[in-house]
Structures are given as C-alpha cells and as structure tokens.
Structure 1
Amino acid sequence: MARKRRPEKTNAMRELDRAGIAYVVHEHAGETDVSRGLGLRMAEESGADPQSQFKTLVCVAPSGDHVVCCLPVAEELDLKKAAAAAGEKSLELVPMRDLEATTGYVRGGCTPIGMKRPFPTLIEETAQLFEAIGISGGRRGLGLELDPLKLASFVGARFADIVRG
C-alpha cells in the first residue's frame, strides 16, 4: 500500500510550526486557475462552508503603507470599511504585478502568515463565529485550517466588519 505524500512545507506552515499553532493541511489537486474564484471552488470541493473559508487580499494606502484583509471567499471587500478599520483615509487593492514582490506570495496563494514583512491585518469579524477557518497555505491549491483567534493573535490582526453588505 502506497503512503500518502505529504505536501512540501511552505513558509506559512513553518512559521505556524515554530509558534506551536495547530493546523490541518488541505491539498486540492484540481484546477488552480485563479481567475475564476479559486477559494470558492476549493470550499465547494471540500464541502466546507464558504463563509468559513477566507481569502487574503492586500491593499495599499495613499501613503504607500500596506494593509492585509482576510474575508470569506464568497464575499467582496468593502474598501471604505477596511480603510476606516485600518485608520487610513482610503485603500485600494495592490496591483497584481506588485503582489509577489510585496508579500512573497502569488495570487491564489497569498496568506497573512509569513509575508516578507508583517503588515497591519484585518480579519472579517464573522471569522469569530467558527472554531476553525480555512486560509491559503502559501501556495495555490494548498489550504490551512486553524483557529481564527490563534491566527489573529499570531499575525497581530484585528477583527472588523470589512465586507460589502
């Protein structure tokens, strides 16, 4: 009987290991085309509640400062709410061409853990309703499931209402 292959550790996984934070790895072998809602497809494939599966978006303020926003994969970021929660005048999404240079992660694999440098982070307040949430593991098709309170504490995040609605 063949043994199941373990996924190669990502920077996010190594940081969680060092901090002693428990997580569960979910690998998705299917299509990883990020242009068509990768996070939502991954939630559907795994049978997880889409409200418990979070995507990570990186924003930039007029000052050039960056803010990381984590929100459910099926929701849209409200830039005005996020700016207010971050204490910024306004925010806009970081251009895709700048994402990897800013964070160290590619689109579809961005996670608030283990970025090139720490940024202020906001997590949609509904994350607190779940014992565990899913986030990217630092690579397309790789997800991590962990306690949202431990995640927030580890990355220094604040919970806030940041989705449209």
Structure 2
Amino acid sequence: MGKKIAKTNAARILDKENVPYDIIHYDIEDGLVDGVSVAAKIGHPEKVVYKTLVAAGASKQHYVFVIPVAEELNLKAAAKAAGEKKVEMAPVKEILTLTGYVKGGCSPVGMKKPFPTFIDRHAEMQEEIIVSAGKIGMQIKLDPVNLLKVTDGQYANLTVKDD
C-alpha cells in the first residue's frame, strides 16, 4: 500500500460533479514548475497541457484564462472575450487571496469564488487537456468539454498566435 494522496479542492469538485479525470503527479524537487517544464516531466505535448491565468478587467472584475503552456495570452483578445476595454494580469501577490491557489498550482476548477472562465479555442480540438489540480506537483487530465461545464466556461481566441 502506497501512501494515500490527499485530494485537492479541484479533484473533490470533479468527483462531486461526476466528471471523469486522471491525476498526474510530477516531481518538484528540481524547482522547475513552469508549464513547459511540467509538460516535459509528465511526457505530454505542450499543446495539451494548459496553464491557468488570472486577469482583471478595466471594470475591476477578475477573469480566468486557460491557455496552452507554451503560448502567451493575447491581452486584447482576452479583453474582447471578456467584453472589457482592456485586461491586465493580476499581480502574483494577489493570486492566493483571489483564488485560494498558489502561483504554479492554480487550477481553473475550485477557486475561492467563481470567475468568468475562458478556455483557449485550441482545447476544442483535443480529446483531453491537462490543467493544474490545484497543487504544485499535481495535474488533472480531463475532457475539455467537461472543464467547460464545471467552470461554466466558454471557448475563445486567447493566444498571441491567434493574431
């Protein structure tokens, strides 16, 4: 018997919603926890591993943007998707207070309060995508349609390469 792994809030919510998923663990001892490094560690292509970004609009409303780890958020496209004049990334020091998650372990599922969530349209083409499980060292693999449902999200053009 191995040691029992504690479930994250994201995993508990997926269980409650009967959403099928797999947990993927990765080693964090080397300190490399950026999305591209995580994709390499877990042996999945960067196009299926997604990072969760939090931004604030001109209205002071916060938004969640979920994009492939190797891509860059297009702030103009993000603002358009959110119906804002502009959006800016939330300061790192505010991430824990806003979401309940730490930088590098921010899941789009199970934040302290629900924020409007936008998932990069490229996820639509994937059978499964991988997002943070809400803890550094843990990822969740699931169908992007289920991620949309559980976050009440929507697809949008969000990356710089969509210009």
Give the TM bin, normalised by the shorter chain. over 0.9
Tell me the equivalent position of 1:139: 135
Tell me the equivalent position of 1:29: 27
Aligned residues between the structures:
161
Tell me the equivalent position of 1:66: 62
**Taking structure 2 as the reference length, what is the TM-score of the superposition?**
0.94
Q: Distance in 1 between matches of 2:81 and 2:28?
A: 36
C-alpha contact (below 8 Å) 1:79/1:90 kept by paired residues:
yes
Tell me the equivalent position of 1:45: 41
| CA offsets 1:57-87 (integer angstroms, 9 cap, x no match) | 0000122100100000000000000000111
Tell me the equivalent position of 1:151: 147
- The 10-residue stretch of structure 1 (37-46 or 152-161) with the greater mean CA deviation from structure 2: 37-46
Q: Distance in 2 between matches of 1:65 and 1:146?
A: 28
C-alpha contact (below 8 Å) 2:49/2:69 kept by paired residues:
yes
Helix, strand or coil at the partner of 1:138: strand
Q: Distance in 1 between matches of 2:33 and 2:138?
A: 14
C-alpha contact (below 8 Å) 1:56/1:71 kept by paired residues:
yes
Helix, strand or coil at the partner of 1:135: strand
C-alpha contact (below 8 Å) 2:105/2:132 kept by paired residues:
yes
Helix, strand or coil at the partner of 1:74: coil
> Which runs of 5 or more residues in structure 2 are unaligned?
none
- One-letter identity of the residue aligned with 1:164: V
How far 1:13 sits from its partner (Å)?
Answer: 0.5
Percent of aligned pairs sharing the same letter: 39
> Which runs of 5 or more residues in structure 1 are unaligned?
none
